[in-house]
């Protein structure tokens, strides 16, 4: 769920090779028509020790083909993808990464997901001074539940403004201090308390921390026992318009199966527009801007919203689906219990709203590129000699549904977090040609920065820090759940300083991708694709992993990183 910066030219030589590849892939695809999943492109054809753009393209073309139907979890597309990955991992010299209860090994870590679909069109009613006011679903508010109850019926629950809804003991900040919100509806602001203050009040100033993410705010509201939790949408601190919220109001809400059936979550979670919030504060006799300013100061205390009471009824039908993380490992020769992990999500949106008659969101860039990179890196590690430590390759499911494959892994780690040296996540590999830089999302959090800087300098290239820290992209892809296990993570996105055309062209290509292709049926392979820049980036990520796999280094989190505590805890 991150934005990408992508476009480029393609060489004739490569085209000839591709044509040969294509015929191999097409033959494989023809096989698919008879339900026989396509064989992985012939890995032996790419026995050069170096990473190969052709090999990447071979995998991408198959994974992003219409046959794979946009690789939605729990669909035929998943079956083809998982089968393809297993064959490719095996051909790349990996071993099955999962040990089952009976001691046997498997390539897959199965997980159950639930999909809750609203069966009614809810109305949010806020009653109090001036009578009851009804708000319309999707245009004025959104709401869903993480509880596996078919009916959620909240009636006349008091509203409480809890500022940014943060409880950060390590920062001495608790917006829930001194108030009991059980049975109430909490109303809160998006992003961090110091996002708009121009200074750092402990949350890194403009850069978003995990406390600024909606996922954290709803988790905390659940921990506090709230009956309902509402975030006020404001475009700048949210870093996306209301349209993004509205677009998810007609799709199922996915989740991992929770042991408590979601009882530890608020009865409902959702957003209201700025306008609805303004009107509600006025009706409560409260000044929104003054309270927002107070919420940005240390020592803020929650404010009951006058006599206002909120009511909402949700009817949901829930289905479960089985889906899989696909895990292969190259066991270490010396210290096999110490592991470096590469991750990439293999899933995408599947069938999506049609554009010009095309309703398959192929997810070529997002993230057939990263999935192909897992296979190519596995082949590269095998070809480069068995490392001292183990290297694992995890293709994660259901990233598009909320990082759920990674969340399931976090709850059921296959490799002990304590002895996991680092994790490197790939979500979108550059397809628009060589750049002079690479961007490190979340730059400044750990010593992984030093390793990627070393690898880039060896290539005569440079690292660019996160270009939009305020958007919190660090918290919007799978590495987040590995970081929450305390594992130092590296997540790069392609640089924009193009060898041909500089930053101007890079930024333009990015803007075109985000506007035209991101999460659309047109995210497909075209003749403009050029993976040579992506290969350079992957060589740098390979160098980082190889150095760790053949060394004794344990990269550390920086002093102020919010995941440092989790690492220390895992080491005890």
Q: How far is the CB of 367 from Zn ion (least distance, A)?
A: 4
Q: Of 427 and 466, which has the nearer Cβ to Zn ion? A: 427
Q: Residue written as tokens 């409480």? A: 160
Beta-carbon neighbour count of residue 370 at 10 Å?
Answer: 27
Beta-carbon neighbour count of residue 281 at 10 Å?
Answer: 24
Q: How far is the CB of 513 from Zn ion (least distance, A)?
A: 12
* Residue 347 near Zn ion by CB under 5 A: no
Q: How far is the CB of 5 from Zn ion (least distance, A)?
A: 14
Find the binder of Zn ion among 249, 367, 510, 536 (CB under 5 A). 367
Query: What CA–CA distance (Å, rounded) separates 396 from 406?
Result: 6
Give the residue among 208, 157, 163 at the shortest CA–CA distance from 184: 157
Angstrom CA distances, 252 to 118, 143, 247, stand at: 7, 12, 11
Q: Of 152 and 531, which has the nearer Cβ to Zn ion? A: 531
Beta-carbon neighbour count of residue 125 at 10 Å?
Answer: 17
Q: Of 427 and 530, which has the nearer Cβ to Zn ion? A: 427
For the chain, give percent helix, strand, coil, nearest 5. Answer: 35, 25, 40
Q: How far is the CB of 164 from Zn ion (least distance, A)?
A: 27
Q: Do residues 567 and 488 lie in contact, with contact meaning Cβ atoms separated by under 8 Å?
A: yes
Q: Of 52 and 343, which has the nearer Cβ to Zn ion? A: 343
Query: What CA–CA distance (Å, rounded) separates 298 from 500?
Result: 48
Q: Of 175 and 399, which has the nearer Cβ to Zn ion? A: 399
Interface region with Zn ion, contact rule CB under 5 A, candidates 92-100, 192-200, 359-367, 538-546: 359-367
* Binding residues with Zn ion: total (CB under 5 A): 3
For residue 152, the cross-strand partners are 314
How far, rounded to the nearest angstrom, does the alpha carbon of residue 564 sit from its chain's CA centroid? 20
Q: Of 248 and 297, which has the nearer Cβ to Zn ion? A: 248
In residues, how long is the chain?
572
Q: Of 311 and 323, which has the nearer Cβ to Zn ion? A: 323
SS3 57: helix
Q: Do residues 68 and 77 lie in contact, with contact meaning Cβ atoms separated by under 8 Å?
A: yes
Structure tokens, 84: 């393809």
Beta-carbon neighbour count of residue 562 at 10 Å?
Answer: 18
Q: For strands 185-189 and 268-272, give the pairing.
A: unpaired
Q: How far is the CB of 4 from Zn ion (least distance, A)?
A: 8
Q: Of 265 and 476, which has the nearer Cβ to Zn ion? A: 476
SS3 157: strand
Q: How far is the CB of 494 from Zn ion (least distance, A)?
A: 13
Q: Do residues 185 and 229 lie in contact, with contact meaning Cβ atoms separated by under 8 Å?
A: yes
Interface region with Zn ion, contact rule CB under 5 A, candidates 128-136, 206-214, 366-374, 564-572: 366-374
The dihedrals phi and psi of 158, each to the nearest 5 degrees, come to -60, 145
Interface region with Zn ion, contact rule CB under 5 A, candidates 19-27, 48-56, 238-246, 425-433: 425-433
Q: Under the phi-then-psi rule, with left for phi > 0, alpha for psi from -120 to 50, and beta for the rest, what region is 501?
A: left
Find the binder of Zn ion among 67, 78, 175, 366 (CB under 5 A). 366
Q: Of 436 and 479, which has the nearer Cβ to Zn ion? A: 479
Interface region with Zn ion, contact rule CB under 5 A, candidates 30-38, 324-332, 362-370, 501-509: 362-370
For CA atoms 249, 254, 255, 260, the dihedral sign is positive
* Residue 478 near Zn ion by CB under 5 A: no
Interface region with Zn ion, contact rule CB under 5 A, candidates 124-132, 150-158, 276-284, 424-432: 424-432
Q: Of 427 and 562, which has the nearer Cβ to Zn ion? A: 427
Interface region with Zn ion, contact rule CB under 5 A, candidates 367-375, 498-506, 518-526, 537-545: 367-375
Interface region with Zn ion, contact rule CB under 5 A, candidates 92-100, 150-158, 286-294, 426-434: 426-434
Find the binder of Zn ion among 78, 427, 439, 466 (CB under 5 A). 427
Q: Of 67 and 427, which has the nearer Cβ to Zn ion? A: 427
Q: How far is the CB of 85 from Zn ion (least distance, A)?
A: 16
Q: How far is the CB of 363 from Zn ion (least distance, A)?
A: 8
Q: How far is the CB of 564 from Zn ion (least distance, A)?
A: 27
Q: Do residues 512 and 252 lie in contact, with contact meaning Cβ atoms separated by under 8 Å?
A: no
Peptide bond into 367 cis (omega under 30): yes
Interface region with Zn ion, contact rule CB under 5 A, candidates 175-183, 427-435, 498-506, 537-545: 427-435
- Binding flags for Zn ion, 376-415, as an x/- string (CB under 5 A): ----------------------------------------
**DSSP assignment of 55-124:** HHHHHHHHHTSGGGTT--TTSHHHHHHHHHHHHHHHHTT-EE-EE-TTS-EESEEEEEEEEEEE-S--EE
Q: Residue written as tokens 């396509």? A: 38
Q: How far is the CB of 427 from Zn ion (least distance, A)?
A: 4
Q: How far is the CB of 365 from Zn ion (least distance, A)?
A: 8
Q: How far is the CB of 352 from Zn ion (least distance, A)?
A: 14
Give the residue among 372, 499, 500 at the shortest CA–CA distance from 428: 372
Q: What residues make contact with Zn ion under the rule CB under 5 A?
A: 366-367, 427
């Amino acid at each position: 769920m991150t934005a990408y910066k992508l476009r480029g030219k393609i060489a004739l030589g490569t085209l000839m090779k591709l044509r040969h590849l294509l015929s191999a892939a097409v033959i494989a695809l023809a096989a698919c028509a008879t339900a026989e999943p396509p064989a992985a492109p012939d890995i032996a054809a790419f026995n050069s020790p170096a990473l190969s753009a052709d090999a990447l393209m071979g995998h991408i073309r198959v994974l992003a083909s219409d046959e794979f139907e946009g690789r939605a979890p729990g669909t035929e597309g998943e079956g083809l993808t998982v089968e393809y990955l297993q064959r490719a991992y095996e051909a790349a010299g990996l071993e099955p990464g999962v040990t089952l209860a009976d001691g046997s090994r498997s390539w897959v870590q199965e997980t159950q997901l639930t999909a809750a679909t609203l069966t009614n069109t809810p109305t949010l009613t806020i009653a109090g001074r001036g009578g009851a006011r009804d708000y319309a679903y999707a245009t004025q508010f959104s709401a869903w539940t993480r509880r596996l109850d078919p009916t959620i019926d909240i009636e006349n629950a008091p509203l409480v403004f809890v500022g940014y809804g943060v409880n950060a003991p390590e920062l001495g900040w608790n917006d829930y201090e001194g108030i009991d919100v059980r049975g109430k509806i909490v109303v809160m602001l998006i992003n961090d308390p110091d996002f708009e203050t121009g200074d750092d009040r402990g949350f890194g100033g403009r850069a978003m921390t995990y406390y600024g993410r909606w996922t954290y705010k709803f988790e905390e509201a659940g921990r506090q026992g709230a009956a309902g939790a509402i975030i006020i949408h404001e475009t700048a601190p949210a870093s996306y318009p209301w349209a993004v919220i509205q677009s998810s109001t007609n799709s199922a809400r996915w989740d991992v199966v929770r042991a408590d059936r979601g009882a530890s979550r608020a009865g409902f979670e959702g957003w209201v527009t700025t306008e609805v919030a303004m009107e509600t504060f006025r009706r409560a006799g409260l000044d929104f801007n003054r309270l927002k300013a107070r919420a940005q100061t240390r020592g803020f205390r929650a404010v009951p919203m006058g006599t206002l009471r909120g009511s909402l009824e949700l009817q949901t039908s829930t289905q479960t689906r089985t889906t899989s993380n696909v895990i292969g490992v190259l066991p270490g020769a010396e210290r096999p219990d110490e592991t470096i992990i590469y991750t990439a999500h293999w899933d995408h949106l599947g069938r999506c709203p049609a554009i010009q008659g095309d309703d398959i969101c192929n997810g070529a860039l997002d993230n057939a590129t990263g999935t192909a990179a897992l296979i190519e890196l596995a082949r590269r590690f095998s070809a480069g000699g068995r490392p001292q430590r183990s290297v694992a390759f995890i293709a994660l499911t259901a990233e598009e549904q909320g990082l759920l494959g990674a969340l399931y892994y976090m709850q059921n780690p296959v490799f002990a977090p304590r002895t996991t040296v680092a994790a490197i996540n790939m979500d979108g590999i550059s397809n628009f040609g060589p750049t002079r830089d690479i961007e490190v999302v979340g730059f400044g959090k750990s010593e992984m920065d030093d390793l990627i800087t070393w690898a880039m300098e060896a290539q005569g290239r440079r690292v660019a820090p996160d270009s939009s820290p305020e958007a919190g992209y660090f918290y919007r892809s799978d590495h987040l759940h590995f970081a929450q296990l305390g594992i130092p993570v590296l997540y790069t996105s392609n640089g924009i300083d193009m060898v041909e055309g500089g930053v101007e062209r890079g930024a333009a290509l990015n803007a075109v991708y985000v506007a035209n292709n991101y999460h659309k049926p047109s995210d497909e392979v075209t003749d403009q694709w050029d993976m040579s820049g992506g290969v350079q980036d992957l060589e740098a990520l390979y160098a980082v992993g190889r150095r760790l796999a053949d060394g004794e280094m344990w990269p550390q989190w920086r002093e102020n990183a919010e995941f440092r505590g989790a690492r220390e805890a895992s080491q005890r």
